[in-house]
Structure 1
């Protein structure tokens, strides 16, 4: 039975929908990196990334950023997509070793001659970010990256066996593996205000960050499920369908309902923030920019990318 996508419940955000005036320029820069700095990728994979429009993703995530700020962010966007695609089917032990290397490079180590182009690109991104942000922010960004690869490590056994986790297990893992904690850190880069650790680590701000990760994860799953059917099980729609024995349409509705609950919780928290004293204005600015990012992610899927269209996503076996 074919799925009538016109009748599916839609995702909605009450945030502004903006795009950077540098979008085309940023995308052109990203395409240069694909063909010049990722020599280890087969040509057909490069062409798929050419149609992904990773530069437009950052132009929508951070529409008010300067071009200088957008360069390391776009580098991260392309790096993250490639890293995830290239290593997503590694086993837990292999990902654990990757995790150690990524942490070492972010903390100052040099890439090894034997490592592929992802590692020099990571070092370049580290150096670009270090010029823009203070050491305490870099330390937090490194922790966020560690969470991301920890999420990949936790996903690995399920991907290897195609055995579904429970819905609750999946949601806990996906909050990390969706790779959004680093993107939330980037909001501070764009606002040019690195918030103090005591603000960022406040329980309410931590909950806002977690809900941001969750909503972007469910949005990603919403648009990618047709690509993942039959080859992956780490998708909230497929997990819900399996756990509750739902039709695919019912599973979409269940996932959208979870998304709506998270959005409502997010809006309630951001409407009643605690008093952060001298940082109140900066926190309000952070929340506004964070909303732009959440909205921009959905708009990228709807307008800019062919990543989850037919033939738009690289298959793992084609990397070799």
Structure 2
């Protein structure tokens, strides 16, 4: 695939949701750094620099602004875990060996399901074991079971994408959008809204078609926003699995037009998210309040995620893309 890229005019991303930051953000910084050191996640200078640039505490504190400290610490540690495991999958030899990745993922799922760590496990396996015990101490079994299922679904999707990449498959934009929702880890982060806010949604409400639609829309917005901001980085490393790159290829349009299309798609999804929240059924007074807290958590993720890009160096390259946003 030939990727054409030129200087662009930067269209604005639409985000009318309020920006909030958790009151524990300053406490979180030191404790999060110590956790990452304890499990040898910052084993070399490169990982240490990536950790500093990413500003994980800012992202988690704006994504979970009402969380109590213990839950916020766990959520932040999970966020760090997903970033570093995702980077290993993308940037190491694992990106060319989906069968080896599957072996690692199988082992990680065993640990998440309660297996003891062993001497030959990778550092992230020990970190995951720590996260499992802390999740269970602060949640119920029903929530944790659903969380593990979501992680497994994500692992399977990442393995599928790496197989496509190894085979040189160029997916359609429609196929990619479906795959992207599953590879982005966003569903795991949305699950954690309930954990951080201590929300318990009955299964029938959690599975309600409109609640599931809101989750899917929030995932799309977060995943597409990530693609828009990371497109230069992915072009630089030759990764075509990005909505901007695939749109440009499929529609045979300019890079500017592909960026415009991705931003328009994202903005439409935000508006549809808003519209759908105004058409929700009456779940009863008490449950309506819980559902609103859950939806508020998704709004916080959408807004906090967007603001985070303006201050993080995680996707920084010489041609880092800076996209404004409208309220």
Q: Is the pair's TM-score, using the shorter chain for normalization, greater than 0.5? A: yes
Residues 56-135 of structure 1: pairs in structure 2 closer than 5 A = 56-88=58-90, 89-135=95-141
The answer to whether residue 299 in structure 2 is matched with residue 291 in structure 1 is yes
2:172 to 154, 166, 171: 166
Which residue is equivalent to 1:148?
154
What's the CA shift for 1:34?
A: 3.4
Contact 2:232–2:317 (Cα < 8 Å) also in 1: no
Which residue is equivalent to 1:206?
212
Q: Distance in 1 between matches of 2:55 and 2:165?
A: 26
Could you say what secondary structure the match of 1:229 adopts? helix
Deviations 1:5-52 (A, max 9, x none): 5x2212121111111222232222222233332257322222222221
Structure 1: stretches of 5+ with no match in the other structure? 314-320
Contact 2:14–2:270 (Cα < 8 Å) also in 1: no
Which residue is equivalent to 1:254?
261
Could you list the runs of 4 or more consecutive aligned residues of structure 1 that deviate by over 6 angstroms after TM superposition? none
1:21 to 20, 23, 36: 23
Residue 147 to residue 2, structure 1, CA distance change in 2 (3 Å): closer
Contact 1:34–1:50 (Cα < 8 Å) also in 2: no
Corresponding residue pairs, total: 311
Could you say what secondary structure the match of 1:285 adopts? helix
Contact 1:133–1:194 (Cα < 8 Å) also in 2: no
Could you say what secondary structure the match of 1:188 adopts? helix
Higher relative contact order (CA 8 A, sep 6+): 2
Residue 31 to residue 159, structure 1, CA distance change in 2 (3 Å): farther
Residues 12-51 of structure 1: pairs in structure 2 closer than 5 A = 12-38=14-40, 41-51=43-53
2:251 to 240, 244, 247: 244
RMSD of aligned residue pairs (Cα, Å): 2.1
Q: Distance in 2 between matches of 1:40 and 1:116?
A: 13
Which residue is equivalent to 1:279?
287
Which region of structure 1 is more displaced relative to structure 2, 94-103 or 73-82?
94-103
1:188 to 194, 200, 208: 194
Q: Distance in 1 between matches of 2:302 and 2:59?
A: 11
What's the CA shift for 1:73?
A: 0.6
What's the CA shift for 1:90?
A: 4.6
Q: Distance in 2 between matches of 1:190 and 1:207?
A: 21
What's the CA shift for 1:161?
A: 4.7
What's the CA shift for 1:162?
A: 4.8
Which residue is equivalent to 2:323?
none
Which region of structure 1 is more displaced relative to structure 2, 157-166 or 259-268?
157-166
Q: Distance in 1 between matches of 2:88 and 2:69?
A: 28
What's the CA shift for 1:2?
A: 7.0
What's the CA shift for 1:95?
A: 2.9
